[in-house]
């Protein structure tokens, strides 16, 4: 049992109300920690601390900021086993594969930001006036309000925190309540790496209270958020006028054509459905198959689902842990029920599996003949499900893929370069992966949704996040006649 605190102005503090909430292991239901239930006043104190100390990071030379990010990576690597353990306890993902991998990638994220900030060049602009010299510089925006989800409670925060600090911003961070314990442990790493007091502030508690406060507060200059489309849209309204970096929901359409390497296509597509129990914004959530290979693809998907091993997340044989929380499990229940009522066929799984330790374990599921008007087709399920829909032509497959309000990542499997380009240029998603799953991404690549969809604003990844989290200032200098 851990008794944890928030981090405001370089101090570990309780909530001003004295209230706490419990962090529970989703695999067992057991309480693993108690955390402060932050209030609006706590959030205001954090914003005030960030404003009071933002000069410490903004005035720090770029190379020194890069070294700071490197030190954080070193501390995280030193504490990797502790971080992976609390990550598994807090989130539920398998320790030996997914949790340890996430810690490694999180440390890599700090190193990535350290390198990219050193080479973030700007321009010297030719102008008509011979007496003027015009150039641009990048400056920090000021104080960032950051709100992060529970599915990757180390990696996703670092997609904002690392470039945010590297760019010279102060930060007020509100993590998801169901994974706030591991957030505290990560901030311990920042403190150990000697991030100046007040530059990063952690407030734990309910999003509608502390998250809303930092988003709308006049003392925060910009907002970063990863989460659902509905919450992102609410945040955009509350933060009206502030720069926004929003990575929102996805519905991962994956197109498998009849000329594809089917075994390879289904193998990586199944990973896209079941990794992290499907709780990934770029998860494979719709599998659109050419009717000529429909039966073979469905059989291969069922076989892949049968190989998934539910169980204790600390067991080396476990390949999938529980869902993180009850609302996500309820959404799976609702989506599967709705699809079947509208004519879909359940081929494998389809129910909770409490025999593995808690009611949050969910069977890997394969559903065929999913209708386009079902919630399973139109919404983000965020669970371990492989929904299949067949079509007879490239044009129909494209229409089905784009018939959705979300547009984050898509995938296409084909051996034809012509068909690959046909889909890549017409799919309404921010990323299109050819012959790989919707999960493929590396930390330096631009990641975000397509315009006209509900999948966000801006781009995460490498220099692209640095561009989002800085102001471009133009300086015009009259050098005289």
State the SS3 of 110-164.
Answer: HHHHHHHHHCCCCCEECCCCCCEEEEEEEEECCEEEEEECCCCCCHHHHHHHHHH
Three-state DSSP class for 388? strand
**247 classed as catalytic:** yes
| Cβ atoms of residues 358 and 26 within 8 Å | yes
Handedness of CA 187, 191, 197, 199 (dihedral sign): negative
State the SS3 of 355-383.
Answer: HHCCCCCECCEEEECCCCCCHHHHCCCCC
Catalytic residue from among 69, 189, 273, 281: 281
Q: What is the CB neighbour count within 10 angstroms for residue 366?
A: 28
Catalytic residue from among 188, 213, 247, 380: 247
| Cβ atoms of residues 35 and 180 within 8 Å | yes
DSSP element (H, E) containing 272: helix 262-274
Report the candidate in 161, 121, 159, 166 with the shortest Cα–Cα distance to residue 140: 166
**281 classed as catalytic:** yes
Cα-flanking dihedrals φ and ψ of residue 218, to 5°? -65, -15
How does strand 170-175 pair with strand 2-3?
unpaired
Radius of gyration of the chain (CA): 23
Catalytic residues: 247, 281
């Amino acid at each position: 049992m851990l008794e944890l605190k928030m981090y405001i102005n370089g101090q570990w503090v309780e909530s001003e109300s004295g209230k706490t909430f419990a962090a529970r292991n989703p695999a067992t239901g057991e309480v693993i920690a108690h955390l402060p239930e932050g209030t609006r006043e706590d959030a205001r104190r954090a914003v005030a601390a960030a404003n009071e100390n933002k000069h410490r990071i903004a005035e720090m030379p770029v190379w020194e900021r890069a070294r700071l990010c490197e030190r954080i990576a070193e501390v995280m690597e030193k504490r990797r086993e502790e971080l992976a353990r609390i990550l598994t306890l807090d989130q539920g993902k398998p320790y030996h594969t997914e949790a340890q991998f996430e810690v490694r990638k999180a440390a890599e994220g700090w190193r990535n930001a350290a390198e990219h900030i050193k080479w973030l060049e700007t321009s010297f602009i030719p102008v008509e006036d011979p007496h003027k010299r015009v150039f641009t510089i990048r400056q920090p925006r000021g104080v960032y309000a950051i709100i992060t989800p529970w599915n990757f409670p180390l990696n996703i925060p670092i997609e904002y925190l690392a470039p945010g600090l590297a760019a010279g911003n102060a930060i007020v961070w509100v993590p998801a309540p169901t994974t706030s314990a591991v957030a505290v442990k990560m901030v311990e790493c920042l403190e150990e790496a000697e991030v100046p007091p007040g530059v990063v502030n952690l407030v734990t508690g309910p999003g509608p209270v502390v998250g809303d406060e930092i988003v709308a507060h006049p003392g925060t200059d910009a907002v970063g958020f990863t989460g659902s489309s509905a919450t992102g849209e609410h945040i955009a309204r509350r933060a009206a006028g502030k720069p926004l970096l929003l990575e929102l929901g996805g519905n991962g359409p994956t197109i498998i054509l009849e000329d594809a390497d089917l075994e390879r296509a289904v193998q990586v597509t199944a990973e896209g459905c079941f990794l992290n129990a499907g709780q990934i914004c770029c998860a494979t959530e719709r599998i659109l198959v050419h009717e000529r290979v429909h039966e073979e693809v469905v059989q291969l998907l069922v076989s892949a689902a049968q190989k998934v091993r539910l169980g204790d997340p600390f067991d080396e044989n476990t390949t999938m842990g529980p869902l993180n929380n009850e609302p996500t499990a309820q959404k799976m229940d609702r989506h599967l029920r709705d699809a079947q009522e509208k004519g879909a066929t359940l081929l494998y799984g389809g129910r909770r599996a409490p025999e593995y330790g808690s009611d949050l374990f969910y069977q890997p599921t394969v559903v065929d003949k999913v209708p386009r008007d079902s919630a399973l087709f139109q919404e983000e399920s965020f669970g371990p499900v492989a929904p299949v829909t067949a079509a007879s032509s490239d044009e129909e497959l494209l229409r089905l893929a784009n018939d959705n309000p979300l547009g984050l990542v898509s995938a296409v499997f084909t051996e034809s370069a012509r068909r690959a380009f046909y889909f890549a240029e017409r799919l309404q998603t921010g990323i299109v992966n050819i012959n790989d799953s919707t999960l493929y991404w590396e930390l330096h690549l631009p990641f975000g949704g397509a315009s006209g969809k509900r999948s966000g604003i801006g781009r995460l990844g490498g220099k692209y996040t640095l561009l989002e989290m800085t102001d471009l200032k133009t300086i015009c200098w009259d050098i005289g006649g």
